[in-house]
A and B are shown apart, each in its own frame.
Chain A
């Protein structure tokens, strides 16, 4: 069974700072690592995803870094804004490919950006 360990559980950062969330997985044969963002009262929404043939992917202020040898991937939120305050979940597929395989989610990180 795939396990995804996410840390920290919660994070407080000042506006303009960098938020960093880490995830570690167990199995090595995956091709897709998504991050989800969830606001209170809403369902999680896909934020950004990475495939392991690249070590980094950037979309605006959000960057995913992937370290295959360490079996870790992380989300960096640059220039954090109060609107980024949300819960973030990482995920990894159970099988070799993302398609057709169940996603396993990390425990979530509650991020609070103080103005």
Chain B
């Protein structure tokens, strides 16, 4: 596709359930980021993938959060045993190895009830 695609766009889940959020980066982009944004707040870094390097997981808030990137392309962010404080918009971005510009998807709005 032309841009970064995230799915689903909205997700409502019950507390304690697991959720998976998907990100399709721009074709050929080697870097992929996940950020979390609470209502009216800034961008909270979660995890960063760059090529075949080990991912930078320093932003993951707890061991309930994990992410993988298969084949250097699609990425899945998994939140286990969701809590109400996990409610936020989860944003994915990708960038080319040659440039520093990061392109964002529209985000997945997660609501934990």
Contacts and interface: CB of A to CB of B under 8 A. Distances in A.
Interface of A: 31-32, 34, 36, 42-46, 49, 89, 91, 93, 97-108, 110
Interface residues of B, number: 29
A42 B50 CA distance: 24
Contacts, number: 65
Contacts of B45: 102, 104-105
B33 A43 contact: no
Given A43-B106, A100-B31, A102-B56, A93 B42 contact: no
Please provide the 9 A-B residue pairs with the shortest distance between their CB atoms, ordered closest to farther: A98-B100, A43-B104, A108-B42, A32-B100, A107-B42, A105-B43, A102-B48, A44-B104, A43-B106
Interface of B is mostly: loop
Given A43-B106, A44-B104, A102 B50 contact: yes
Contacts of A49: 100-101
B17 interface: no
Interface of B: 4, 30-31, 33, 35, 40-43, 45, 48, 50-51, 56, 91, 93, 95-107
